[in-house]
Amino acid sequence: MFAAPVRENNAYEVALENFDLAANALELEDGVRAMIKYPERILSVSVPVRMDSGKIVRFEGYRVQHSTLRGPAKGGIRFHPNVTADEVKALATWMTWKCAVVNIPFGGGKGGVTCNPKALSLHELERLSRRYASAILPLIGPEKDIPAPDVYTTPQIMAWIMDTYSMNVGYPVMGVVTGKPVSLGGSLGRNEATGRGVFYTIVSSCEHLKIQLTGARVVVQGFGNAGSIAAHMLQEAGARVIAVSDTRGGIFHNSGLDIPEVIAFKDRTGSAAGFPAAEPLTPDELLALDCEILVPAALENAITELNARTVKAKVIAEAANGPVTPQADRILESNGQFVIPDILCNAGGVTVSYFEWVQDEQHLFWEAQDVYKRLERVMKTAFAECLKVHVDRKVGMRLAANMVGVGRVAEASRIRGLYP
């Protein structure tokens, strides 16, 4: 017998479907739905870049503002070969609900360029970043739309975008992007913010589910910025990180990997794969490991209807955006597994981006401990608010988080009087 064909997931369709579920649960009026569901602005740009060879290559780029109802649009810029208009629209939509879930005064936006940054020299990457920045210049600004790093974009790229914007207006504008180097108006604690936020939501989940964090087995798919920092903090809190992976493969050690050692190994070699004090592991084996906490921290669609039944973790903490497909979500939920949805789990990054923007606008910079304390408060409050909806309304955590986010944006829409 043949298995049923797997439905390809269009990220934007998934985003719209999740919105509808939340809007139905909230019994939102049609007029409000029409106001808040779709992107406010979609800009498609052509980015011609002179390569080191002298040849000019054209790349496609996008900037989408999904919502500015609760404040300026906020969201990262992705440089990746798979970037499409639909993906950017989906990510922008998620940003709107994410900013609302953690209750920071931003709407949602996202940008991207379809390119392979790994195949570009540093100078080509700088020219691409600056050309893209000047193409989206009409949309961005500290009071309108504030980009940040996302997959394969870095603090250095944010510095080039800030510089391009500042050259155009004629004075330095720190608050036009976040995720900048600290020497250029970046915030202390921004680099580790997403991983730290993931950690706080896992701690809250374990308290709720009465799982002992000390000794709990943790598996991390995607040992990059978010994944490695969450792994490190979990290990420091007494958990046992038994496996991690990146694009080159996975590693496993039943009594726990030494995370600082793995980070140092990855810094030296470019990958966690091949770490000497561990066994190699395939991507499927990693997801199916017996563990209490699984952290998908790579890209979208890591857990699908094909592998969801093999996942044994009690808690799935979505450090990545959209790592669990809707079909897989239903399987995990019916198995009683607790999913911390992306718009809550990885919101630490945008929260500290907000702190960075506040510091830039005030020209007054905070100490790292202030950033951590405020971040912990924001994440734990947001978690408690989503958990309350999850418990009171007997809905999954994803729907609960979407209800909190969509509900706040709907409320802003009504108060602003845009409807009817």
- Hey, which residues between 330 and 349 contact ligand NAD (CB under 6 A)? 346, 349
CA distance 356 to 162: 14
Q: Which of 18, 204, 321, 359 binds ligand NAD (CB under 6 A)?
A: 321
Residue 108 near residue 95, CB atoms below 8 Å:
yes
Kind of pairing, strands 338-340 and 315-317? Answer: parallel
Closest CB 300 distance from ligand NAD, rounded Å: 7
Contacts of 289 (CB under 8 A, 6+ apart): 217, 219, 242, 243, 252, 281, 312
Residue 50, φ and ψ in degrees, nearest 5: -80, 120
Segment interacting with ligand NAD, rule: CB under 6 A, options 60-68, 162-170, 314-322, 381-389: 314-322
Q: Which residue has the tokens 């404040």?
A: 71
Residue with Cβ nearer ligand NAD (82 or 168): 82
Q: Please tell me which residue in 37, 74, 89, 110 is annotated as part of the active site.
A: 110
Q: Which of 320, 332, 379, 412 binds ligand NAD (CB under 6 A)?
A: 320
Encoded tokens for 175 = 């608050």
Encoded tokens for 157 = 């790229």
CA distance 255 to 395: 36
186 is a site residue for ligand NAD (CB under 6 A) = no
Among 363, 376, 382, 381, residue whose Cα is nearest residue 189: 376
- Hey, which residues between 347 and 366 contact ligand NAD (CB under 6 A)? 349
SS3 7: coil
Residue with Cβ nearer ligand NAD (65 or 194): 194
Active site residue 380: no
Residue 324 β-bridge partners: 303
What Cα–Cα distance (Å) separates residue 379 from each residue in 196, 200, 319, 348, 419? Answer: 10, 7, 13, 7, 31
Residue with Cβ nearer ligand NAD (187 or 194): 194
Residue with Cβ nearer ligand NAD (42 or 299): 299
Q: What angle do CA 249, 251, 255 make, to 5 degrees?
A: 165
Residue with Cβ nearer ligand NAD (58 or 268): 268
Q: Which amino acid is at 58?
A: R
The burial of 406, by beta-carbon neighbours within 10 Å (0-12 exposed, 13-18 middle, 19 or more buried), is given as buried
155 is a site residue for ligand NAD (CB under 6 A) = no
Helix (H) or strand (E) holding 228: helix 225-236
- Hey, which residues between 219 and 248 contact ligand NAD (CB under 6 A)? 221-227, 245-247
Instruction: Please tell me the count of residues contacting ligand NAD according to CB under 6 A.
Output: 22
Q: Which residue has the tokens 């799935």?
A: 316
Segment interacting with ligand NAD, rule: CB under 6 A, options 158-166, 199-207, 291-299, 372-380: 291-299
CA distance 197 to 372: 9
Tell how many helices (H) and how many strands (E) occur in the chain: 14, 12
Segment interacting with ligand NAD, rule: CB under 6 A, options 65-73, 120-128, 181-189, 316-324: 316-324
Kind of pairing, strands 217-221 and 249-252? Answer: unpaired
Helix (H) or strand (E) holding 111: strand 107-114
Chain contacts with ligand NAD (rule: CB under 6 A)? 150-151, 194, 221-227, 245-247, 283, 297-299, 319-321, 346, 349
Q: Which of the residues are catalytic? A: 110
